[in-house]
Structure formats: structure tokens, C-alpha cells
Structure 1
């Protein structure tokens, strides 16, 4: 894929993550090769870091740092030799932003996970945000904000093979074990889960196997994967994140919720985009149908991660988690 087509394919994902669409257009219009993607996006992240240093107020500095975190993360979407460093820069920028904007935010790190716990210490519910194959906690800041606005505490995490841990750990199909350790570390009796893209599989699997999950939502999550049918770029990403082609093929084979879906007994919202059609990926409708308390929200014009249709799913999803965890109208 050439860089023009790649930039077009990533358009709604990038703008859905919260970067300025005009800045994205200006940056990508100047790229001549896919090899330019990572360095150009990282330079933009550094530019926002520099703006933070010169900002006229702590709030402005924090906002520039949040934007830097987004750009550093997006630099890793194309093959990039410095992807590990860029992910570390994204992680660092997010931490610096929260130290300014939310001094009460707490870094929580354990075996196979790291992330930030945000929100009131006496929140009536806690939600864990689970990223996907090549996403990270920095990509879903707006989702976190929507949950925080409803009075919830939010733990936005990177797990094995994700974000800050991508360079040092491979993906794992046994994500419920990671979430179990997260819940232990947070010290709460129950949690809500929201998983995005492959994170939707992780969240549904965890909800089936971890009894402390009291509410769950998935966005563009796969019900099943067929390795042989997956597009080459997806197989390439999975190969890098799994640590080799054999491990990636085995991982894809395990992504199948057929037997687990009936065990997802917590209230479940499954969100799909009608334009999200990827060969080798079975979308979430069977999960919603087989789960005892599943609800299916299909947005006809939505693409993968529905960055082009955020108003159609973001607020209903946040309401679903808040109402389920607190029992209060939102």
C-alpha cells in the first residue's frame, strides 16, 4: 500500500483518536513514502512537546502533551524501526500531561500491564479500557473522558504486546489472566470492561472467565479470526506483535468466542460498524446473540473503530457502563 492510500485508510482512526484533522491532512500530504510515516508523526509529537514547554498556562501545557501522546502513538501504525521509542514517548507524554491536568491520577503497573487510574477515589464504579492489536491507551483518551464525565474511575491500560509493553512482551490469548491481576492491583470488588478492536475479543473472553466483571462493551471486536483469510498487513502486524509467524498463526486460531459467548453473563453491549468488513474477521453480532444479556448496536455507516460515527456509539456505550455499574440514570 502506498502512503497516500495508507493515510486515507487511517483517516478516521486518527481523527477518532483526537488529532486535529487539518494537521493530519497537512502532515500526510507531504509524505512521499510509507517509510516517512513514523518519523513525520514522531516529529509532530516532539513539536507538541515543545509547545508544552512554551505554553502560557499549565492547562495549555497539559493539552499539548495529550496531543503529543496521540501523535507518538499514531507514528507506530506503519512499520517503523523506532516504534518502541515512539511508544515510550507516547507513554511519557501522557504521564506528564496527567501530572499537570490530573495530579490525582495514579500509575499502576504489574505483571503484564501498565496504565493510569483516573477519576475520583470514591467513584461508584471502575472501568478498564482494553486496547487492541496495534492500539494503546493513548488512542482512546476521548472514550476515557466520556467515562470520567459520568463519574466513573477509569483504568486505561496497555497489556502484553500493546503500547508501552509492545517492545518487550508478545500478545497473549489469555488476557483474562492479565485483567485479573489488574483488578487485584486496583483493589475493587468488580469492574466494567470496554475493549476496542482485538481488545473487544479480550474483553469478551475476560467477561466469560473472570467473575468480577460486572459490565462489558466491545467496539469492532472480532468474534472469530481465520488466519488464512486475513489481509497481509494484518498478518504482518500480528506476526510482529506475537513474535513470529508460527506464534501469530496459533494466536489467531485461539481467537474464537463460540464456546465462551454463552458464558458472558454480565450485561453486554456489542458495537459494530456496517462498513467494517475485513476478510478473515467475523464481527460481533454472534457474540451479542449468544450472550445471555447481549445487546447489538450496528452503525451502518461506521468503519473499523467507528471513528467516522463517534456520536452514534460513544455516548450510548458510556451510558451503558455507567448505568450498569451504578444503577443510576445518566
Structure 2
């Protein structure tokens, strides 16, 4: 990518901007206000990055409040959705700052904006509690104007918001006649920030009760329930499918076989050897020194490690935890028809879509996305309409949607 093609000199921020801009096709952002808010932020100014997104969320949320007070519910819903998406970036930004005092209130503003979107949207939606172990998972069941029984369960990634999931899956699914269930699973959003529940690798124990719940809902055909997972959700979906075979079809966007490679590929081989030899104390000391010399990497580590529930400074423990998120031989158990997106220039899990396709050859379809189409990069951030077209055309054929 040429520098002239970038929205930010910081790789992570450039990708974040692209992802938010991609949501504009479903009303989850306004390109002009995003580009205006993020213009001129210096590469290392993390405080300015947080303030830009939090302030944008505040401004758009105020627009939404005024519209709602005036009885303009459509305008209010549109603005609340955008505000929630912007606050979600602010939540990720503040998660990497040394002072975490602003994390809870920022997430509270994000959640309020999302809940207000739900209150004002003309789309039919029901708040639900999905029975899960000794508690419940909060979710939202969206229904199209004319339901036909086909349903999609949408699974978020490691740090995505429900507003971003609206743009990547919910809205295009509703237009095609699908009922859609979204929810916060372990380590995601409300589960992490409100309840302190971390990630877990064995998502069959999450998606089996989710399937049981949605299959029992009025108007849902249990034989026509599909599954979609975005970003790290691609791992959780594939893992669950190795055990839960009742879903009619599934999409991983992209394919993820081993989550840990996005962590370990950036570590020197000498450090990994310490870990493999069980020299955890030495590994932690070396990591602490390295992160002290690289503040940007330290911020990324803090942000990425939080949902795994490991202690600060327990670097070896964190890597060992992340290494549990790998399919291995379990991929051979998948019998569900599976579409795997494969974007050119995948920056987090390069080559893993092809690997998952090879491990599930009898049931999978690999769909390439290219830079020439404007569809390169993790989750094709600037080609979400093209992504929706390809994955839902494929799913329609397997779930008899739009067919007589």
C-alpha cells in the first residue's frame, strides 16, 4: 500500500478507519465526519486518537438525542448507530492507554448509543437473554419485514461492537429476508466490561445453547439456521462446528485455524524458544524489557491481552492461553457446508483461510477477494457490499432463501 493510499501513518489506526468507513454502506458511519475527526492525528499520539473518536461519538450522540426529542425516530436511530460505532473505536483506544479509568464510562456511552438505536430503529427487534451455564448472554433478535424462517446467528470478533456487526452482517441479512440473532459471548463487550467474563476457546459450549435458544423462537425453522463469524469469530465458528452439526451452513470471514500466530509471528525466535522450554520467568523478564523499549507494542499487548483474563505482566501465561485457540485435528470433524473468505493482503492470519479450506475440503468453499476489486485486507473493510453479496448468495442457495 502506498503512503498516499493511507488514512493514517499508524497501521492499526489506518485499518480501524477503513473498517469504520466500510460500515457506511449500512449507515454505521458517515465518511466525511470520520475523515474530519481523524485528520492530522500524529502517529504516536494515542491520547489524541482516543479523544477524536470519543468526541465524535459525543457529537453524533447529541444529534441523536435532539432528533429523538423532536420525534424524528429515523434520524435518531441513524445517529445513534453511528455514535455507537464511533464510541466502539474509542473503547478500543482507551483500552490501550495506561489509565483505564475512562474505559467503563466510554463503554457505557457506547452501549447507551446502541440501546438507543434499538429503541428507535424501525426494524423489528427483541432484546433476549440466551440461557448459558448459570447465567445468560444478552442478545438482540432482529426480524425482517416478511420472515421466511431462515435465520443467521452472527458471531463477533475479539473486539468488535454490535454496531459494526450490524454493518457487516445484520443489515444485509435482513434485506434478504433472514432473521438475525446477535449476542455478546464470553470476553466480548458486556461480558468483558460489565461482568469480567474472559474469552474461552471451546465455543461449542457457547454456540450449542445459542442454537437451542434460537431454534425455539417463533417463526424460526430449526433446519435453516446459518452461522456467520467475523475476524476472530472465524475461529470460534469453526471450532464450534467441529462439535455442533445442526447449523445448515456457515461463513468464516476469514478462516482462522490458529489464533496465536497473530501474536507469535511478531516475537523473536529466541523468545519463543524460552517459552517452549518452559522458561516462563525468563520469558516474562525479556518481554517486559522489550515492551519497555517499544511503548506502541506494549499498548497493543495490553489491549489484546485483556479479554484472555491473564494477569498484567504474565506474558508467558498469556501466550500459553492464546495457544489454546487452535483447531488442529478438530477441523476434520466439520460436516457443515462452509464458506471461507480469503482476502488478498490478510494481515493478521495470512494463509489461514487456505489452510482451513484444505482441512475441510469436502465441505468448504474458498472465496478470494483481491486488491483489484478494492477488497483487500482483513475482513475486506472497504468491500462489505461485495462481501455480503458473495456470502449471502452462497448461503441463500443452501438455505432455500428467495427460492420458490
TM-score scaled by structure 2?
A: 0.74
1:23 and 2:33 correspond: yes
Larger radius of gyration: 2
By how many angstroms is 1:117 displaced? 0.7
1:94 and 2:96 correspond: no
Among 203, 209, 216, the residue aligned to 1:181: 209
1:118 and 2:145 correspond: no
Aligned to 1:216: 250
1:71 and 2:95 correspond: no
1:59 and 2:74 correspond: yes
- Higher mean C-alpha deviation, range 171-180 or range 12-21: 12-21
Aligned to 1:317: 391
- Higher mean C-alpha deviation, range 309-318 or range 298-307: 309-318
Distance 1:248 1:125, change over 3 A: farther
Checking the alignment, whether the CA contact within 8 Å between 1:124 and 1:326 is kept in structure 2 is: no
Among 169, 175, 183, the residue aligned to 1:157: 183
Between the aligned partners of 2:85 and 2:365, the Cα distance in structure 1 is: 31
By how many angstroms is 1:235 displaced? 4.5
Q: Which runs of 5+ in 1 are unaligned?
A: none
1:43 and 2:55 correspond: yes
Between the aligned partners of 2:318 and 2:127, the Cα distance in structure 1 is: 30
SS of the aligned residue for 1:25 comes to helix
After superposition, the C-alpha distances for 1:151-174 in whole angstroms (9 at most, x for unaligned) are: 110012221111222222111111
Listed as ranges, the matches of 1:1-330 within 5 Å are: 4-5=9-10, 6-18=12-24, 19-32=29-42, 33-55=45-67, 57-78=72-93, 79-80=96-97, 81=100, 82-102=102-122, 104-110=124-130, 111=132, 113-120=137-144, 122-142=147-167, 143-167=169-193, 168-186=196-214, 187=216, 189-190=222-223, 191-224=225-258, 225-226=260-261, 227-230=263-266, 232=297, 235-244=301-310, 245-278=315-348, 282-291=351-360, 292-301=362-371, 302-326=376-400, 328-329=402-403
By how many angstroms is 1:66 displaced? 0.9
By how many angstroms is 1:176 displaced? 1.9
By how many angstroms is 1:250 displaced? 2.9
- Higher mean C-alpha deviation, range 309-318 or range 146-155: 309-318
After superposition, the C-alpha distances for 1:106-145 in whole angstroms (9 at most, x for unaligned) are: 1122436322110148542111111111112221212211
Between the aligned partners of 1:153 and 1:44, the Cα distance in structure 2 is: 31
Checking the alignment, whether the CA contact within 8 Å between 1:161 and 1:241 is kept in structure 2 is: yes
By how many angstroms is 1:297 displaced? 0.8
Between the aligned partners of 1:174 and 1:318, the Cα distance in structure 2 is: 27
Checking the alignment, whether the CA contact within 8 Å between 1:217 and 1:270 is kept in structure 2 is: yes
Checking the alignment, whether the CA contact within 8 Å between 2:150 and 2:401 is kept in structure 1 is: no
After superposition, the C-alpha distances for 1:58-107 in whole angstroms (9 at most, x for unaligned) are: 11111111111111112123225333333332222222212222463111
Checking the alignment, whether the CA contact within 8 Å between 1:230 and 1:281 is kept in structure 2 is: no
Between the aligned partners of 2:337 and 2:58, the Cα distance in structure 1 is: 42
TM-score scaled by structure 1?
A: 0.90
SS of the aligned residue for 1:306 comes to coil
Checking the alignment, whether the CA contact within 8 Å between 1:173 and 1:251 is kept in structure 2 is: no
Checking the alignment, whether the CA contact within 8 Å between 1:136 and 1:158 is kept in structure 2 is: no
> What is the aligned residue count?
327
- Higher mean C-alpha deviation, range 202-211 or range 237-246: 237-246
By how many angstroms is 1:47 displaced? 1.5
Q: Which runs of 5+ in 2 are unaligned?
A: 1-7, 268-296
Between the aligned partners of 1:30 and 1:119, the Cα distance in structure 2 is: 41
Between the aligned partners of 1:169 and 1:230, the Cα distance in structure 2 is: 27
Distance 1:92 1:223, change over 3 A: same
Between the aligned partners of 1:102 and 1:115, the Cα distance in structure 2 is: 18
